[in-house]
Amino acid sequence: MKTSLAFLLMLGAVGAAAPALAQAPVVAAENQAALLKDKDPQLAANKKVVFDFLRIVLDAAHTEQGDKFVDPGYIEHNPVIPTGRAGLLKLFGQMPRKEVQPTLRGLVAVTADGDLVTVVSVAEVDEPHKPGAKYTTSHFDMFRLKNGRIIEHWDDDKKGGDAPQGPPPPG
């Protein structure tokens, strides 16, 4: 009986402290140009290819420029985006074409290691227990490059529900 009472008291204390334990919001980087820098010139170049691809091809839907960023043997691991360069460019070619922006809205981080570049961005999603409320979390995209072009992509998107997030809109 003592264990049950202690457990209930602990749960009550955790519940009372819940607002203080809430997550810190995910915040975009202020200086995106700094995210693209690297001591290794090849890693900096890889970051720039991915950054420009996201801004020009995916966000602004200038898919006519896709060939310079995406390898013909492109492999897609997102379950709702077709694999292959042609399928990818066809899908994003259906999006409204916009002016290319110098930055990406919600960009948090860009990291590179060898032939991999990972991009983290802010994702705002519906709060499941508070209708109408939102919270922020992180969206991840990882790209593999070969000969200066993107050859493979992974992210955290899932089937069903919302459409693929893709890159954050410009800001």
| Ordered structural domains, the chain, with CATH | 26-155 (3.10.450.50)
Nearest by Cα to 150 from 36, 72, 65, 37: 72
Strand partners, 152: 75, 144
Task: Note the Cα 123 to chain centre separation in Å.
Answer: 8
- In this prediction, residue 143 carries a pLDDT of 98
Whether pTM exceeds 0.75: yes
Q: Tokens for 142?
A: 């990882």
2 band by pLDDT with thresholds 50, 70 and 90: low
Residue carrying the six token digits 């519906």 = 126
Residue 88 exposure: Cα atoms within 13 Å on the Cβ side: 30
For the chain, the residue count is 171
- d(Cα 83, Cα 55) in Å, to the nearest integer? 20
Q: Which helix (H) or strand (E) holds 19?
A: none
Mean pLDDT of all residues in 117-124: 94
- d(Cα 32, Cα 51) in Å, to the nearest integer? 10
Instruction: Judge whether 142 and 117 are in contact, CB under 8 Å.
Output: yes
Per-residue pLDDT at 166 exceeds 50: no
> Which of the pair, 65 or 21, is modelled with greater confidence?
65
- At 29-85, the pLDDT tens digits run 999 999 999 999 999 999 999 999 999 999 999 999 999 999 999 999 999 899 999
- In this prediction, residue 160 carries a pLDDT of 75
Nearest by Cα to 47 from 106, 111, 100: 111
- d(Cα 55, Cα 61) in Å, to the nearest integer? 9
- In this prediction, residue 171 carries a pLDDT of 43
- At 130-165, the pLDDT tens digits run 999 999 988 999 999 999 999 999 998 888 755 444
